[in-house]
Amino acid sequence: MPMTMTQKILAAHAGRESVTPGDLIQAACDLVLGNDITAPPAVAVFRQIGTARVFDRTKIALVMDHFTPNKDIKSAEQCKTVRDFAREQQIVHFYEGGGAGVEHVILPEKGLVGAGDLVIGADSHTCTYGALGAFSTGVGSTDMAAGMASGRCWFKVPEALRFELEGKLPPDVGGKDVILSIIGRIGVEGASYKSMEFGGPGLASLTMDDRLTMANMAIEAGAKNGIFEVDDITREYLRSTGAKSRLEFRPDKDAVYAETFRIDLSAMKSVVALPSSPANVHPAEAVGQIPVDQVVIGSCTNGRINDFRIAARILKGRKAAPGLRLIILPGSQLVYAQALEEGLLAIFLEAGAVIGPPTCGPCLGGHMGVLAKGESAVATTNRNFVGRMGHPESFVYLAGPAVAAATAVLGRIAGPSALPGR
């Protein structure tokens, strides 16, 4: 039976020769992730299950990133619950304060996920690690608790959609533009219950940061996971982070896909997803005059060093438009330090930006940039649902760092080509 990449990883972790779409399996987890919102309920469920110890204290990651630095007393209590649990269970990978950052930025950085791994996380964007050739998917707190107790999780083996990437991205166009364009094409349910498998000659022109951005948003098409074929760029990245596992699974030549899409990267444009759906995608140059109150660059989607390099290239020598609030949130301490060293933070300060600590913050309307009634923001995040960044009558436009930076300068939504001198 020929298999896709996802099917091969699931079969290997279920101890089976092969699996077929629709099979219900129990599979072993290489890593179980939770954050400051989802881990507290998981700790409570873990107690209910009644297991004394976690299955493996080195295979659990707890990252305090959503409402941190703690925005209020309740959030502080939630973190304390997790901290106490981590101490009691001697969890090796507990991250908070200056050791933390946005979960999906820091886990790959720290080499905690490698190719061929099976990862579950009580966070829907756990699918990010597919960029590394891993099977990773979002689950809830109960699954996380059961995972911490038993090291296992139940799955229905998904069918797959194949995305055959061709050509090379034009300048100023990045992974965010590609994935938004794909979601615009297939819709928010276009990959429901399925795996999105990315491969083809076009891979070579996508940086690891581009791929992480793309895999991150697979869930926005309803997918169970997004996964990239492993190539030299993956191998080099995994070497640099010291990731332990580097088991490469390749899809069989005759693997069966529910559908195959050819994506010509050279035809990609700077795009924006208008409220309130990540599938409401339009070319940045075609949206007309949309004034914006705030621009946020950061998050698990676009909070990595390349994202800030791209934004800095555009913001260099320019200023944020009068009255527009530009918020920069590096995704991790490492990204922060790198941006500092490369002089990017100086460029942002000069442009009038507020630079915050690594946190999810405004992405989920938590803190550090919540919107008032009637306000609009361009954000490099992944969701523009009603009320996502604050008031139910505020508006979020999703874009990559290039569009976000150009928008910050012009005070209205625009691609970088709209800037004078570019």
Partner 1 sequence: MKLQGSVHKYGDNVDTDVIIPARYLNTFDAAELARHCLEDLDPSFAGNVKPGDVILAGKNFGCGSSREHAPLAIKASGVCCVVAQSFARIFFRNALNIGLPVLECPGAVSLAESGDRLEIDIEAGTIVNPATGASVQAAPYTGFILELIQAGGLVARLRRNAEQRRK
Under the binding rule (CB under 6 A), the answer on residue 6 touching ligand SF4 is: no
- The partner in contact with residue 300, picked from ligand SF4, partner 1, none with C-beta cut-offs of 5 to 8 angstroms by kind, is ligand SF4
Window of 101-109, 110-118, 147-155, 279-287 that interacts with ligand SF4 by CB under 6 A: 101-109
- The partner in contact with residue 50, picked from ligand SF4, partner 1, none with C-beta cut-offs of 5 to 8 angstroms by kind, is partner 1
Region at 287 (left for phi over 0; alpha for psi -120 to 50; beta for the rest): alpha
x/- track of binding to ligand SF4 for residues 290-329 (CB under 6 A): ---------xx-----------------------------
Under the binding rule (CB under 8 A), the answer on residue 146 touching partner 1 is: yes
Question: CA 93, CA 159: separation in Å to the nearest integer?
Answer: 33
Under the binding rule (CB under 8 A), the answer on residue 195 touching partner 1 is: no
Of all helices (H) and strands (E), which one includes residue 114?
Answer: none
Under the binding rule (CB under 8 A), the answer on residue 167 touching partner 1 is: no
In whole angstroms, what separates CA 96 from the centre of its chain?
19
**CA 245, 250, 251, 252 torsion-angle sign:** negative
C-alpha dist (Å) from residue 67 to 75, 87, 249, 301: 6, 21, 37, 17
Name which position in 10, 91, 102, 315 contacts ligand SF4 (CB under 6 A). Answer: 102
Q: Measured from the CB atom, is 130 or 202 closer to partner 1?
A: 130
31 near 126, Cβ under 8 Å? Answer: no
Name which position in 36, 123, 229, 375 contacts ligand SF4 (CB under 6 A). Answer: 123
Residue bearing tokens 């979601």: 183
x/- track of binding to ligand SF4 for residues 125-144 (CB under 6 A): x-------------------
Q: How many residues bind partner 1 (CB under 8 A)?
A: 50
- The partner in contact with residue 381, picked from ligand SF4, partner 1, none with C-beta cut-offs of 5 to 8 angstroms by kind, is ligand SF4
Number of Cβ within 10 Å of residue 151's Cβ equals 17
Residue bearing tokens 């990437």: 165
Structure tokens at 373: 């009634």
Window of 135-143, 360-368, 396-404, 409-417 that interacts with ligand SF4 by CB under 6 A: 360-368
Reduced to 3 states (helix: H, G, I; strand: E, B; else coil), residue 246 is strand
With CA atoms as reference, report the closest residue to 361 among 324, 329, 400. Answer: 329
Residues near ligand SF4 (CB under 6 A) are: 66, 102-104, 123, 125, 299-300, 360, 363-364, 381-382
